[in-house]
Amino acid sequence: MKKRVSRHILIFIELICLLLLLPGCFRKEEKVYSLSGAEMALQTVAAEESLQFYGADAISLSPGVYQIRVNSGAKGQESAYVEILPGESGYDRLRGNGVLVFPGQEYTDFEVYAVGNVRDAHLFCEFYDMMPDRLTSVEIYRINRGGRMALFVLFMLFLAVDGLLIFRREILAGRVLKEQQAVFWTLVFSVLLACLPYLTGYFSLGADTAFHWLRIEGLKESLLNRNTLPVRVQSYWMYGHGYAVSSFYGDFFLLIPAGLRLIGFSLMTSYKAFVFLVMAGTAAIAYFSFYQCVKDRYAALFGAVLYVLAPYRIYNFYNRGAVGEYLAMTFFPLICCGLYLLYTEDCKTAAYKTYKWYLIWGLTAIIQSHVLSTEITAFFILALCLVLWRKTLRRETLAQLLEAAGTALVLNCWFWLPMLYMMGCDRYFLQSIISGHIQDMGTWFSGIFQLTPNKGGHQTGMENYEAIQIGAGALLMILVYLGMVFWAKKKPVRKAEKILLGFVFLSVFMSTKYFPWDFIAGVPGLGYLATSIQFPTRLMAPASVFCAMFGVFFFLYLKEPEKDFREGSASMGKESREMLKKGCLCVLLVITAGSALYQVNDIALRSKPTYLYTAENMGTQSVVNGEYLLEGVDKDAYRYHGPVLEEGLKSCHYEKNGTEIVMQVENTTDKIRYLELPLTGYKGYGLEAEAGGKEDGEVPAITDERGAHGDIRIAVPAYYTGKIRVFYQGFPLFHIAEAVSAAGFAGVLLWHLRKRVVRKINFSAQKWGVKGRKGNHDDDREP
Amino acid sequence: MRNVSRVSRKTAEDNGKKQVCFFLLTVTVFLSLPCFSGMEAPAGYRAVSVIWNVLTAVFSYLCFFGIFRERTVSFLCSALYLFSVYRISVLYIWGDLTKAGLMAALPLVLYLLIRLYREEILGKAGYAAVFFLTCALWYALESAGRLIFHDVPDICFQEKGLYPAQLALHFWTVGVYEAEYGKEVYKAVPMGAGFLLIFGLVLFFCLWYGGAFRGAELEFCAKTAAVLSMLLLLMSLNSFPWDYLQRAGGRFDRLISGLESPACFLSWGTLLTVFLCGFLLRFFQEKSRDLYLAGIFIVIIGIMTSGGYLLDYIVGSQETPYQYRMEEGGFEEEG
């Protein structure tokens, strides 16, 4: 009773705290500083002919988030760099980066975070080939994001504290087994270990990090602009022209960091939180999947730890910043679990029909994460179907496999159908990149046996080699297993072990440069698909999950008693053998954890720090190879600009909001004149115009021919005057696909609800001694 | 141990001469003795380093034996302390012989605190207060000592703190000469509690959370030490609000500045986490043989791969100063 009262008091206090913070979320923005360009011009110091500085007097900032809004009239080669410097206010109290004001960019804003009282912040500007008065104004506003962040952080903190208190109560009440506690803490510790390099106040850039950060920022901006949902073209990229990255790369999981950005967190913090969630998600999914397969907690835990700490997975996080790939890797264990259950369980039971859901959800998540990983997944599923062709062709199994594939396709129809349509209706850089040879990108033979996962710097080669490996723990485990199987011959070998080991060897071999990728590239049809994976080293991702799942069976193999063991018959006693097995597992765990520790340690020590608080600081052009740019477009030609009008055209009331432009246009000539808008000319843009032509019904139209650097080009009829609206609308097919997927999701939801209701009825019926509906009580493995 | 007793770059370049002269000729009797016996200055420095190591090993072993009354656990605790990242760093990288000497004496204080608990003179609250106050007093004296003997520059104390990642690094793969004394983990100079000790601390909290220690010997001591070590580790971070405390003004500012760097809290932090590791080993010894053996294995591997590895790097990356005559002034360094 006393404890219950204290719990209620705690919840009451938490609620009061949250309510106290609530008004801060709706606080109106408040202008704290304003300066015009003319005022700046009076105090500017010229450093060189083309460079001038301005440093403002001290500004006092109380804790909170501030937005700096810069209005500019920079043109041609003019540009300016605006920054708020912290002064001597105290260590790390003001966090923010400067922003470059580009020519043609009329307006920009960026945030700085004051984590304490800052008494002497300074506005600092650098002007390159620009007179200071070209900067119309610089204004600093205190915005309500600080309140939102505080509320969110406190809410999460309370959630964690309450969760821990409930968990402790359950432990002390004896409702949580020691095994379960061990599993929980081991997974937590593995996740923390894998996150070690991010336990700093900064960040280190991986090869593709800037690209994925722009995806997050672009998604956030698209959500703010409310142009289209689902987002197909992100308007933030390429100096506001837009990039169709969302059409080709699933954005679903990026809604998490984009949501954190919307709350107000910096891009760096949002990304770190996202990484932590992915790590935790991987640990939970891997453990859950492996446990569903073998129903042994420690075996599942062993596999999950092997997977969470797999060198290639950690490498994907920190060296490459390969968001898509590491997200896809999170869901690989679900696929393994689904396939294992479909091929090993009795197909006559009612539960059998529920196993396909592991596959469906796994495939759905992988499609939404990374298309190339989907391809690799499909390959291994096909390979397994061929290896186990007898079971595959069983009526029940085949039906479940086809149902799984069909359902996954329907659920993701809204993504893959528009993607294929877009690829078919236009030419992108992507298509020319795919045709390249990839065999040389594979690892060397030595890479397979590499034991220390250094941070490295080269994807291939021997010197300064990156951690593209299955890892010392997995390697030792395989060697011990082979030793036991071939020399000891004491136990029967499961088919799953053989297949998993075979798949480990296959995937590792495919990741090397000895696999005939170039030959396959020449095979019509297959070549395009095979070489689209870009790097053979990506095959380390399935190799990692196969190793982890093999680890689960290795654990069980060690645990099982030897079939012909008799007391006194062997040179070693039973107890000694047990000790040896435990020792073996202990050594493997220490090597796995030690290897991961070495890797994160090396990454932490060798990764150059980047402090990025202000997303605007990173620019808009990190497109890596520009895969989704229109073919033939020079990505360096992009600049901020307004509408480009042909002679005889006039425009006014120009407004750009993401992928939508509204403007008034007038053609003063008797001929068609052309107008170019700062939007990348992807197919799918629509135009609405007021009737205002010389002839009735004559309105402007988007031309097939594109403008400079692929901009949208609009033909304005003679003597046309009226308002036009250009916006991205996609194609009718996109909307049909979206409707199909929505219907699919609704169907799945209803099906699950129905099952739940039936189960409840059955439960009630059993409770009251009435015979319930048949066939749903034994499916305890349902996802 | 022979090769590692060298003067670090910092000592050699910056205030090395000052420290060496200071230690050799004025303050420490230990230091002057080898010089009087005809040994050259660096040799004297080495000799004292060796003496501190020996004393640390002996004192810590005896104290931990007094605490746990078990030889293996005491030996492992002693080894953990002797090879702790912070102690090695203080002795060989910072070349701070005073602090290294004080660290040799720290286990004695801990032993006295444990004795105090066993004597049951104080109640639990009183005992916890004494534990905390002893630690606070230690740092106050350390700061006062530095303020008396050194010019303490007006520096941003918080800036010199560590990142959480730094605390748990295990393999210090950056050589001392490659190391940067910056504020990032990138190429950071070896400084931290080490992964093994952090692991021990986290494991202790997990087991405490699950109510595993009820009725165990020294339970209250261990819990007090756990809370205090957690606090000390947090105080060594650059996210601890030292800046605010310093700006609170008064003598407090000078007292904080006298501590030189928040990393100094790792001296007690290290010792207390070592004590917790010993407590865990004793706990496992009584509860489960498998866990106890696994614990021993992990500790040995941990010591070899962390402390041993760090010493190896120091040997590999330290420049060798030669100084044969004090009067010559300055060092002749072999690159």
Q: What is the pLDDT of residue A494?
A: 83
Q: How far apart are CA A188 and CA A777, in angstroms?
A: 33
* Contact criterion met (CB below 8 Å) for A711 and A679: yes
Q: Which helix (H) or strand (E) holds A661?
A: strand A660-667
Q: What is the mean pLDDT of residues A254-264?
A: 95
For residue A532, the SS3 value is coil
Q: What is the pLDDT of residue A461?
A: 64
Q: How many CB atoms lie within 10 A of CB B120?
A: 8
Nearest residue of B to residue A602, measured between CA atoms: B173
B72: tokens are: 């293996």
Judged by CB atoms closer than 8 Å, whether chains meet at B156 and A605 is answered as no
ipTM field: 0.87
Strand order in the sheet with A107-114: A30-36, A135-143, A64-72, A107-114, A94-95
- Type of residue found at A466: E
* Residue numbers of A between 383 and 442 with CB closer than 8 Å to B: none
Nearest residue of B to residue A198, measured between CA atoms: B165
Q: How far apart are CA A134 and CA A123, in angstroms?
A: 17
Question: Which segments of A323-471 does DSSP mark as H helices, in order?
Answer: 323-344, 356-369, 371-387, 389-392, 395-411, 413-425, 429-434, 445-448
Q: Which helix (H) or strand (E) holds A673?
A: strand A673-680
Q: DSSP string of A87-141?
A: TTS-TT-EE---EEE-TT--EEEEEEEESS-EEEEEEEEEEES--GGGEEEEEEE
Q: DSSP character for A354?
A: G
* Residue numbers of B between 242 and 281 with CB closer than 8 Å to A: 242-244, 247
Judged by CB atoms closer than 8 Å, whether chains meet at A91 and B173 is answered as no
Q: What are A112's strand-pairing partners?
A: A66
Judged by CB atoms closer than 8 Å, whether chains meet at B168 and A199 is answered as yes
* Contact criterion met (CB below 8 Å) for A552 and A290: yes
Query: Global pTM?
Result: 0.90
Average pLDDT over chain B, rounded to an integer: 80
Q: How far apart are CA A125 and CA A56, in angstroms?
A: 9
Q: How far apart are CA A410 and CA A403, in angstroms?
A: 10
Q: How far apart are CA A141 and CA A157, in angstroms?
A: 28
Helical axes A540-559 vs A495-510, angle rounded to 10°: 150
Report the helix count and the strand count for chain B, using DSSP H and E.
16, 2
For residue A84, the SS3 value is strand
pLDDT digits (tens, 9 = 90+) for A173-204: 999 999 999 999 999 999 999 999 999 989 88
Q: How many CB atoms lie within 10 A of CB A77?
A: 10
- Type of residue found at A360: I
Which of A339-343, A520-524, B204-208 is predicted least confidently? A520-524
Q: How far apart are CA A120 and CA A59, in angstroms?
A: 5
Q: How far apart are CA A350 and CA A337, in angstroms?
A: 18
Which of A108-122, A211-225, A765-779 is predicted least confidently? A765-779
Does pLDDT of A660 surpass 80? yes
Nearest to A230 by CA among A741, A762, A752: A741
Average pLDDT over chain A, rounded to an integer: 88
Q: How far apart are CA A277 and CA A125, in angstroms?
A: 38
Q: In chain A, pLDDT over 70 holds for what percent of residues?
A: 94
B263: left (phi over 0), alpha (psi -120 to 50) or beta: alpha
Q: How far apart are CA A332 and CA B59, in angstroms?
A: 53
Distances (CA, A) of B171 to A63, A598, A603, B196: 38, 6, 11, 11
Q: How far apart are CA A123 and CA A80, in angstroms?
A: 13
pLDDT digits (tens, 9 = 90+) for B6-49: 444 444 444 443 444 344 334 334 444 444 455 555 677 778 88
Q: How far apart are CA A180 and CA A554, in angstroms?
A: 21
* Exposure letters A191-222 (e unless 16+ CB within 10 A, then b): bbbbbbbbbbbbbbbbebbbbbbbbbbbbbbb
Nearest residue of B to residue A584, measured between CA atoms: B294
Q: How many CB atoms lie within 10 A of CB A443?
A: 25
Nearest residue of B to residue A170, measured between CA atoms: B210
Distances (CA, A) of B270 to A101, B192, B219: 50, 9, 19
Does pLDDT of B335 surpass 60? no
Q: How far apart are CA B139 and CA A31, in angstroms?
A: 46
Nearest residue of A to residue B245, measured between CA atoms: A90
* Contact criterion met (CB below 8 Å) for A68 and A34: no
Judged by CB atoms closer than 8 Å, whether chains meet at A185 and B243 is answered as no
Q: DSSP character for A299?
A: H
Helical axes B195-209 vs B289-303, angle rounded to 10°: 150
A680: left (phi over 0), alpha (psi -120 to 50) or beta: beta
Strand order in the sheet with A711-716: A644-645, A673-680, A711-716, A701-702
Who has greater pLDDT, B249 or A345?
A345
* Contact criterion met (CB below 8 Å) for A359 and A572: no
Burial of A677 (0-12, 13-18, 19+ CB in 10 A): buried
* Exposure letters B181-217 (e unless 16+ CB within 10 A, then b): eebbbbbbbbbbbbbbbbbbbbbbbbbbebeebeebe
Question: Which segments of B83-157 does DSSP mark as H helices, in order?
Answer: 85-88, 97-119, 124-149
Q: How many CB atoms lie within 10 A of CB B282?
A: 24
Q: How far apart are CA A105 and CA A641, in angstroms?
A: 7
Residue A69 C-alpha, separation from nearest chain B C-alpha, in angstroms: 30
Q: Which residues of B touch A164 (CB under 8 A)?
A: 209
Judged by CB atoms closer than 8 Å, whether chains meet at A598 and B158 is answered as no
* Residue numbers of B between 140 and 169 with CB closer than 8 Å to A: 156, 158-159, 163-166, 168-169
A419: tokens are: 């993607």
Q: What is the pLDDT of residue B325?
A: 47
* Contact criterion met (CB below 8 Å) for A614 and A266: yes
Q: How far apart are CA A468 and CA A511, in angstroms?
A: 9
Cis amide leading into A230 (omega within 30) = yes
Q: How far apart are CA A231 and CA A248, in angstroms?
A: 11
Q: What is the pLDDT of residue B92?
A: 82
pLDDT digits (tens, 9 = 90+) for A44-76: 777 777 788 887 778 889 999 999 999 988 888
Q: Which long-range contacts (CB under 8 A, 24 or more apart) does A22-27 make?
A: A22/A151, A23/A147, A24/A144, A24/A146, A24/A147, A24/A148, A24/A150, A24/A151, A25/A144, A25/A147, A25/A148, A25/A151, A26/A144, A26/A147, A27/A144, A27/A147
Q: What angle do CA A497, A498, A500 make, to 5 degrees?
A: 65
Q: What is the pLDDT of residue B323?
A: 46
SS3 content of chain A, % helix, strand, coil (to 5): 55, 15, 30
pLDDT digits (tens, 9 = 90+) for B212-225: 998 888 899 999 99
Most A CBs within 10 Å, among B162, B172, B184, B300, to test the A interface: B184
Who has greater pLDDT, A241 or A133?
A241
Residue B276 C-alpha, separation from nearest chain A C-alpha, in angstroms: 18
* Contact criterion met (CB below 8 Å) for A433 and A627: yes
Nearest to A353 by CA among A423, A401, A281, A296: A401
pLDDT digits (tens, 9 = 90+) for A392-450: 999 999 999 999 999 999 999 999 999 999 999 989 988 877 766 888 888 888 777 88
pLDDT digits (tens, 9 = 90+) for B47-64: 888 888 889 988 999 999
Q: How far apart are CA A157 and CA A155, in angstroms?
A: 5
pLDDT digits (tens, 9 = 90+) for A707-738: 888 899 999 998 889 899 999 999 999 999 99
Judged by CB atoms closer than 8 Å, whether chains meet at B174 and A197 is answered as no
* Residue numbers of A between 570 and 629 with CB closer than 8 Å to B: 582-583, 586-587, 590, 594, 597-598, 601-602, 604-609
Q: In chain A, pLDDT over 90 holds for what percent of residues?
A: 55
The partner residue sitting opposite A601, judged by closest CB among B173, B187, B290, is B173
* Contact criterion met (CB below 8 Å) for A56 and A35: yes
Q: Which helix (H) or strand (E) holds A168?
A: helix A145-172
